[in-house]
Structures are given as C-alpha cells and as structure tokens.
Amino acid sequence: MTPQFLGLVDYLPTYAAMQAFTAARSVDTADEIWICEHPPVYTQGLAGKAVHILNPADIPVVQTNRGGQVTYHGPGQIVAYPLLDLKRAGYFVKEYVYRVEEALIRTLAHFGVTGHRVRGAPGIYVRLDDPFSHAMLAPHKLGSDPAAQRNGSDPNSSAGPDFSGLGKIGALGIKVSRNCTYHGLALNVAMDLEPFSRINPCGYQGLQTVDLSTIGVCVAWQEAADVLGRKLATYLAP
C-alpha cells in the first residue's frame, strides 16, 4: 500500500468517494490509503448526540455513517483514510483499531513524543505535563490489551475513561462494510485548536485537544504525513 496524498480537499466529496470506492471494490481491488487535509468541518458519527455540538457557528456540521461522536477537521491536521479489505488482510475490527492506534503511536515516537491509549476511549493521548516522558500511565488509565478484552481477563474492563492530565492528539472514527474499511483517523500537527472548544470532542465534556505544535514539536505537515503514511502501510499490512 503506497499512501496517496490528496492535498487540501473538501470533506463531502471525499466522503462520497470513499463510499463509492468501497461499494465498487471486488476481491481483487487493491487496498489504498488516502491522506489529506480538510477545510474546517465538524463530522458527526452515527450514534452522535446533538448535545455534544455546543456552538458550531460558521463551521458546517456533516452527518456521517462512521462510528463515534462529533469531531473537528481543519487545516494543519493529517486525515488518513485506510481503504482495506480486512478479510484479505486476515484480521478483525478490534485488531484493525489496535493497528491504526499503533501506527499513530509509532508516528509520535518518531518525533520523540510518547502516545498513550486510554481504556474505553479510542484514539491516542499525550501527557500534558511531559509529552516526551516514557513513563507508563497509571493502571486505571492504561489502554486494555485486546487479547484480555476478548477472553475477559482485562482488570480494567469496568473502569471509565480517565483523561486527567492528558490531551488528545489522535482521533479514530471508522466504518466497516462487507469487511472493508473506510473513514479513518486524524493526527493534529499544527492547527487552530479553537474549534474543538465548540464541541465535546468525541463526546467527552472538557476533553482537551492538543497538536504537535502546542507540545513543542515543530514539524511540517508533509513530513509528519509521510511518516504516518509509512507507519500505516507497515502496521496495516496482512
């Protein structure tokens, strides 16, 4: 899979193109990864609640068929859309999510940042006090082990998300149709973060959103996108 860079593209036509690609693909269709930026837009997931959209003002809100609640896309953010046949890849949705998160974590590590999973809250988070610390999160915050989730031995399975001291830097929102994925993930590089204050990001009131720039990493969008594209191609491989 060689990532395709689409540049700055409107959300709605890209969403339509993903749907059309997925509907038309056959067992022989090659997997693709689309990487782009979007002009300012809020996107709402299938189960999204209007109460989480506080004050969109002049930013459009688009209803989608992905999972999750509301999120924001805007310039300075990398948005990646893996279009994969999971049956051919040989793994299931939970592992797909784990692999996407791992690609995000490895991308952050490339720039010296330690990304963390939080149990029950898909996406990647960083310590606000020290994003470069390699120390593990407290046990009640740690991301659950997928194998432990499946066999019921995960000791954190009943705890709710704990975001204290954390900022969200990478978001996920996926759709799987006929074993094929679309929608995807976003990594905040250097963007105007103010629009996140007009929503409850991913449905969590008070969840702080950060980008690489605000935690002290100065990197060009294209450089970060190149790294993320390579990590996705590596970790999503069969």
Choosing from 36, 180, 202, 218, the catalytic residue is 202
Cα(238)–Cα(236) distance, integer angstroms:
6
- The secondary structure of the chain, three-state, reads CCCEEEEECCHHHHHHHHHHHHHHCCCCCCCEEEEEECCCEEEECCCCCHHHECCCCCCCEEECCCCCCCEEECCCEEEEEEECEHHHHCCCHHHHHHHHHHHHHHHHHHCCCCCEEECCEEEEEEECCCCCCCCCCCCCCECCCHHHHHHCCCCCCCCCCCCCCEEEEEEEEEEEECCEEEEEEEEECCCCCHHHHHECHHHCCCCCECCCCCCCCCCCHHHHHHHHHHHHHHHCCC
Question: The dihedral of CA 189, 193, 198, 202: what is its sign?
Answer: positive
The yes-or-no answer on residue 202 being catalytic is yes
Cα(87)–Cα(70) distance, integer angstroms:
29
Query: Hey, which residues are catalytic here?
Result: 202
